[in-house]
Structure 1
Amino acid sequence: MPTVDMPAGEMSHEEQRRQVADAARRYRESAKAREQVEARAAQGVPFPDTPQELAARAERILSRGGVPTTAVVDRIHAEPLDLPQTHERIIGLSNDLQAANFLPRGARAARTVARISLRRDGRELPLGTGFLVSPRLLMTNHHVLPDADFAATCFAEFDAQIGIDNSPDDIVRFEFAPAELFLAHEPLDFALVALAPADDAVPPGEIFGWNRLSVRTGKLVLGELVNVIGHPSGRLKEIALRDNKLVTRLDDFLHYRTDTEPGNSGSPVFNDQWEVVALHHLGVPETDASGRPLRKDGTAWQQGDGEDTLSWVANEGVRVSSVLRHLASLRPTPAQRALLTAMGPESGLGGPPPHEAAATVGDLQPAGLAVAERTAATGLRARGGAFGGERHLVFLHGRSQQGKNPEALRREWAAGLNKGLTHAGLPTLDPADAWFPYYGDQLANLIGGEESVAGTPPAEGTEVYEQLLLEAATRSGMPDDGPSAEEGLDSAVRKLRRALGWVAARSDLDEWTIDTVFRDVAKYLSEPRVRDGVLDTVAATLPDRGELVFVTHSLGTVVGMDLLSRLPSGIERVALVTVGSPLGMDAVNRGLLAGGPHRPKDVHSWVNAWCPADAVAIGCPLRDRRWGGIDQPEVVNGKDRAHNIAEYLGHATVAGPIGRALH
């Protein structure tokens, strides 16, 4: 039985039969779970999913700004609610209320969708739909493009649609390049194929945009509505807007009910935040006890009957997370890996191949063994016009970020900040609106990636390291002398070991974390080539005019203070935020470029947040009057996350001043 938008004969009858039969079988086998969902829905449960799924969904909605913040604050404080009810309320708001940008964002997503057609005997036959998932990669169904040779006879058409003035838009055609990349999997019914760039070497994603797929959970829960954009039966682009409700979630597939025409093979299935949650692959027909498809009149469907006579009960889509997990299990060539990495950090496809994983910077090495230098990643600029174009949000990270993807780090910071902004009743922001200077790889290259035994002085910066560790221990109440079980060690090392153990026992950080933070701070302060290399790297991704809202963390607070002493003349004023900072320790502030506690001249407001369990911030609050007036909120971070940036930014007392400074 052919699918709605698949010309007869283009797909093997065996695969046709198998795909439809498998979908119908999955639908029958999930009947009990579906009945339980429907029973809970009949009892008034709007989203009859598990508490874990509801929590993940609510967290993702808040972190992505998927619901107006003021509405969340008003609705969740209107009456006492337990945690699952709060999550349901947030998800409900995201379904009931849409920001004014809902339709424009949908129009933007629609531009990534293309019609796939076949050249045969001088004719052009529409096959199905595909959508961009990177600047050059398009995803569709295996039953649309079953192999690379077949894909080479096909092409993709973008903007095959009716424009805003009800006249057809100009269609833009791109050729497939399966020789560069073609990956397909029949059981999951997906195909991923490269597109050739345009004549001017511009990839299609730079013209039409592309969808950033995510392997993470929290994109959809049972009872939510989805949106499907495609070319059913090869027609011009159509949108089934919020006309499909998720009724079943299987390990690899989703079932969603709809009154719309089945088909749209290869179409993206979106949630209300226009994230792709599934790859649509076929309609699910009603079947009898023997598994035979039924007509609308209840009789058995026969080969040759039109598909319009079938009784359709649901649509089935392949979960994007399942597709991504399968892709991650493959061993592509280096050239193919580069194309896959361009799908973005949340796809989970940006890491090194398995045999290279042990050699990445940041993995533990034997003592004294330097890690091989790697090509340093670069920082990220904010998109143009963010916050009016004259005010700039800058995130400056701390240590131990080598080998990480700057875009993923920026999203982590933004997610934490958006959580705090929501608690503060302020608008959330898009990660792309923040500048993210990245010096993680450069720092690792400069200091050599050396690992050694905790509590032993580093090869360089020994004096500063010892001062940091002993000052931290003194500030946390360690007496001048005391017993030690390590009598055989050199007395200086013994003293440092004791100090490290003392600090760790009185904080929520382990000895290794405290030791490595202090080592990197000491090397930065002691070695001019390290300091200059880091500052030059950060300065390359900083705005050169306007106002800064400068949010810094850990070692980044030290780097940030040095940067503030050499800002471009076009920077007029700075709202400074420091979190988890060691600036209160004399061994640190004495080593700043400006020397000692001081108030940078362009800083008009300063928030310094600290957690008592964070050993790195042991010198906080900052008490020296030379720092000037500072708002210093004390926060309580989660267990084992005392120094975590997302924990810090998730507090309203930290995020609130940032949000108010931006608007």
Structure 2
Amino acid sequence: MNLREQQQRNMTERYRDTLDQREDIRRRQVETGTPFAADSDEQLRARVERLVDKREVELAPVPSGAGPVRPAVVFERILGAANELQNVNFLARGARAARAVARISVVDGGGKLAWHGTGFLVGERLLLTNNHVLPDVAAATGSFAEFDYEADVDGAPKPVDTYDLAPGELFVTDRALDYTLVAVGTGADGKRPGATYGRLRLIAQQGKIVIGEPVNIVGHPDARPKEVAVRANELLNQLPQFLHYRTDTRPGNSGSPVFNDQWEVVALHHASVPDPDGAGWIANEGVRVSAILRHLTEAGPPPEQKPLLAELGPQAVLVGPAPIDDRRVGTAAGVTTAPEVPAAQVVSALVQDAAERAQERHGLTGRTGAGRRIVFLHGRGQQGHDPAALRAGWCDGLDIGLAAAGLPPLDPADVWFPFYGDALASATAGRESAPVDTATTTAEAYMPADTGALDVYAALLTDAADRAGMPASEREPADAQESSLLGGAVAALQRPLSWIAARSGLDDVVIAMAFHDVAAYLGSRSARDAVLEAVLAGLPKDDEFVLVSHSLGTVVALDLCNRLPGHVSVPLLVTAGSPLGLDTVYERLLAGGPVRPGQVDVWVNAWAAADAVAIGCPLGRSWPRVSDLLCANRKDKAHDIKQYLSHALVAAEIGRAVRE
């Protein structure tokens, strides 16, 4: 019996052995009239908490006087709200996720094409597929991944982008779980595939899907151009290491990502389950993400492969016991019945949990130890994010730079990480609105709704375009301004935004979002106060600390110095990707202009020529006694904090200051 036949037999046995469980699932679905009540209350709770934490749903109130209700019924109400109608961004998020999926072409020892499969990027140079697609290093050697093997919006074939596999750098596989993780080479220009096509993060946290929810699959069935299955799909059952689901797949889909409706990967598709009676195919099976991550953890990769495996990211780290699965105790049906709990009590507990998580997002305190305290002050767009994951990402970038400078790494536990993302979002929620329905340009779609913030937003774009060399002749004609339904000032903003985008190479959406948040902070006193209070609450109580800031965080850092007690000193201030060189910004600071903070001994400003947010840099032209460091950030990640921190000179300044 060959490997594929053995895998097929194991899969059939798993499906047959869970017959009683599936019948019980169907019975409960019929009795309750909902597919979600088929899962355990523990799994339902984990799923709801994840949806609430990610702000995918709001907790709907349960009618008073409803009497005792099982938690599963309450959870079903919430899950149902998440799966009836989708936000239109469902399509855009799916398209973004699909970019990381590639067709794998396996070449035999003679250089001939042997077979095809599907794989997807889980790191900038890490690709995940099935063991039966790439069973060993020999099969992966000479094989390649084809990205953009698909049709464009008009149905025309896209140019295919090919990357060779690099199994000599990393190759981890397991027959039982039928997965292979392999390194991918760089392109001819030295670019990593993930820099162009993104990556799909493997998430260790539970609560990504429950029985009855839809699943979506993207792959290359029959080696055809990329296709997606998003209709008539449903998770049928959960086993400790595998998922069973209903969807349409074909040979060639092996190695496809299985997504939930938030386009998070829940499993690695590997095969269809045949009908024991020989009447076709009755289900599909995928390997759970948690099972793959657990095996990777236990495999103990050699030290030289750990830098590549680190591309999986901090969210892939398993914490705690084995994942929640279908193991239940007790009754003849194999399932215990949870005690009845008042629905209002369940919802109240979830609301309290959500509030506690929001409280935790105020920031992270650093560990007490030798050396100076170090504080990271994050930039825009971090609301709802996990501060621990953000802090780990900053440290990942800094460790690269420290290694290049010959200095030891920094432990994330030693870093103070004040968090103001939620405070800013909450302070502007009453005045901010969704992008204007009638907006025809990016500048209009991302303009703040608050009048004060809108004035700052317009001034920022104009100021930045002037700094980027935009001539007056390129401005919006006066007659076009006067005819705008939204007013000339707003209608004219796309011209400078497009100019900045063209000169920097950054997407105009990225620039508009960054300036939107800077404007929201500078244009509202209440928003500024809320942010500064959140940051001050998360600072160490020492008399001195090193302060490293990024993007909007650099603006907050300068205002923060105005609020610090007189006895506090900052031996080193690092500003990275900062807009502080723009008149529009420094004129609106609490100091009223480019006034160097008295608490700061050394100020290092890291900037990149392609970073449109740092377009007013170098700061030395406007601010006194600033050491400007020009960083050669990758153009597609010019504003990325990890790019700045991985620069050897920037990291060296930080490393030495912390240890003095």
CA distance in 1, matches of 2:165, 2:390: 43
Distance 1:20 1:90 in 2: 37
Letter in 2 for 1:66: E
| 2:327 is equivalent to residue 327 of structure 1 | no
Deviation (angstroms), 1:217: 0.3
8 Å contact from structure 1 (residues 546, 573) kept in 2:
no
| 1: CA distance, partners of 2:235 / 2:569 | 48
Which residue of structure 2 lines up, in the alignment, with residue 51 of structure 1? 41
1:459-506 per-position Cα deviation (integer Å, ceiling 9, x unaligned): xxxxxxxxxxxxxxxxxxxxxxxxxxxxxxxxxxxxxxxxxxxxxxxx
Aligned to 1:89: 77
Q: Determine the structure 2 residue equivalent to 1:30.
A: 18
Which of 49, 58, 61 is residue 51 of structure 2 equivalent to?
61
Deviation at 1:62, TM superposition (A): 1.6
- Matched residue of 2:103: which SS? strand
1:502-524 per-position Cα deviation (integer Å, ceiling 9, x unaligned):
xxxxxxxxxxxxxxx99x955x1
- Partner residue, 1:508: none
Give yes or no for the alignment of 1:167 onto 2:156. yes
- TM-aligned CA distance change 1:406 to 1:284, over 3 Å: farther
Shift of 1:148: 1.2
User: Are the counterparts in 2 of residues 393 and 548 from structure 1 also a CA contact under 8 Å?
Assistant: no
Secondary structure of residue in 1 paired with 2:232: strand
Q: Which residue of 2 aligns with 1:117?
A: 105
> Do the aligned residues in 1 keep the contact of 2:378 with 2:550 (CA within 8 Å)?
no
**How many residue pairs are counted as aligned between the two chains?**
415
CA shift, 1:230, in A, is 0.5
Q: Does the Cα contact within 8 Å between 1:247 and 1:255 map onto a contact in 2? A: yes
Distance 2:241 2:589 in 1: 49
Deviation, structure 1 residue 85: 3.4
1:342 aligned to which of 311, 320, 338: 311
Q: Which amino acid is 2:54 matched to?
A: R
| Equivalences for residues 32-431 of structure 1 within 5 A | 32-43=20-31, 44-47=33-36, 48-67=38-57, 69=58, 73=60, 83-120=71-108, 121=110, 123-258=112-247, 261=250, 264-288=253-277, 294=278, 296=279, 311-348=280-317, 380-382=378-380, 403-404=411-412
Distance 2:249 2:138 in 1: 33
Could you tell me how far 1:247 is from its partner in structure 2? 1.1
Following superposition, the deviation at residue 95 of structure 1 comes to: 1.1
After superposition, give the CA deviation of every residue in 1:586-637 in whole Å (9 maximum; x if it has no partner): xxxxxx979xxxxxxxxxxxxxxxxxxxxxxxxxxxxxxxxxxxxxxxxxxx
Residues 97, 200 of structure 2: 8 Å contact kept: yes
Q: What's the CA shift for 1:395? A: 8.0
Which residue of structure 2 aligns with residue 641 of structure 1?
none
Residue type of the partner of 1:321?
S
Q: Is the 8 A contact 1:184 1:190 kept in 2?
A: yes
1:235-258 superposed Cα distances (whole Å, 9 cap, x missing partner):
111101143211110000000023
Amino acid at match of 1:23: M
Q: Are the structure 2 counterparts of residues 256 and 78 from structure 1 closer, same or farther at C-alpha, using a change threshold of 3 Å?
A: farther
Given the two structures, how large is their TM-score scaled by the length of structure 2? 0.54
Q: Distance in 2 between matches of 1:548 and 1:313?
A: 62
Counterparts of residues 584-663 of structure 1 (less than 5 Å)? none
Q: How does the TM-score come out when normalised to structure 1? A: 0.54
The Cα of 1:330 is off from its aligned counterpart by 2.5
Instruction: Determine if contact 2:205/2:318 at 8 Å carries over to the other structure.
Output: no
Distance in 2, matches of 1:37 and 1:573, equals 61
**Distance in 2, Cα, partners of 1:237 & 1:16:** 24
Q: Do the aligned residues in 1 keep the contact of 2:211 with 2:235 (CA within 8 Å)?
A: yes
Contact map agreement 1:140 1:191 (CA 8 A) in 2: yes
Instruction: Tell me if structure 1 keeps the 8 A contact 2:129–2:254.
Output: yes
User: How far apart are residue 87 of structure 1 and its match?
Assistant: 2.2
Deviation at 1:160, TM superposition (A): 0.6
User: Is the 2:270–2:285 Cα contact (8 Å) retained in structure 1?
Assistant: yes
Q: Which amino acid aligns with 1:102?
A: F
Larger radius of gyration: 1
Consecutive unaligned residues of structure 1, counting only runs of 5 or more, are 1-12, 289-293, 297-310, 351-361, 434-516, 576-591, 595-663
Superposition deviation, residue 103 in structure 1: 0.3
Distance 2:52 2:230 in 1: 22
- For residues 263 and 156 of structure 1, do their structure 2 counterparts lie closer, same or farther at Cα, with a shift above 3 Å needed? closer
Distance 1:395 1:119, change over 3 A: closer
- How many Å apart are 1:336 and its aligned residue? 1.2
Letter in 1 for 2:43: E
Output one character per residue of 1:33-67: Cα deviation in whole Å (capped at 9) or x when no partner: 11111111112133021111111111111222324
Match for 1:183: what amino acid?
V
How far apart in 2 are the matches of 1:277 and 1:330?
Answer: 21
- CA–CA distance in 2 between the matches of 1:416 and 1:52? 31
5 Å-filtered alignment, 1:493-572, equals 521-522=540-541, 524-525=542-543, 530-531=544-545, 533=546, 536-537=547-548, 539=549, 542-544=552-554, 570=585
Query: CA separation in 2, counterparts of 1:209 and 1:190?
Result: 21
- Counterpart Cα distance in 1 of 2:14 and 2:416: 35
Residue number in structure 2 paired with 1:18: 6
Q: Distance in 2 between matches of 1:345 and 1:207?
A: 21
Per-residue deviation at 1:541? 5.6
SS of residue paired to 1:225:
coil
RMSD of aligned alpha carbons: 5.0
> Residue type matched to 1:65 in 2?
R
Q: Is the contact made by 1:112 and 1:211 (CA closer than 8 Å) also made in structure 2?
A: yes
| CA positional deviation for 1:404 | 3.2
- Deviation sequence 1:177-197 (CA, Å, 0-9, x none): 111100001111000000011
Residue 417 to residue 337, structure 1, CA distance change in 2 (3 Å): farther
Hey, what's the Cα distance between the residues in 1 that align with 2:313 and 2:56?
20
Q: Mind listing any 5+ residue stretches in structure 2 that lack a counterpart? A: 320-364, 396-409, 436-445, 447-535, 574-578, 591-597, 601-660
- Give the deviation of 1:546 after TM superposition: 9.6
SS at 2:190's partner residue? Answer: coil
Instruction: Mark the CA change 1:167 to 1:137 in structure 2 (over 3 Å): closer, same or farther.
Output: same
Deviation at 1:287, TM superposition (A): 1.2
Give how far 1:333 is off: 2.8
The alignment partner of 1:52 has SS state of helix
Please give the secondary structure, in 2, of the residue aligned with 1:265.
Answer: coil
Separation (CA, whole Å) in 1 of partners of 2:252 and 2:422 = 36
Alignment check: 8 A CA contact 1:378 1:406 kept:
no
Q: Is the 8 A contact 1:394 1:549 kept in 2?
A: no
Tell me the distance in 2 between the aligned counterparts of 1:172 and 1:65: 35
- Aligned pairs (5 A) from 1:453-468: none
What's the secondary structure of 2:312's corresponding residue? Answer: coil
C-alpha distance in 2 between matches for 1:281 and 1:415 = 40
CA distance in 2 between counterparts of 1:559 and 1:76 reads 52
1:104: Cα distance to partner? 0.6
Cα drift, residue 417 of structure 1: 10
Q: Deviations over 1:554-608 (max 9, x none)?
A: 99xx999x99xxx967257699xxxxxxxxxxxxxxxx979xxxxxxxxxxxxxx
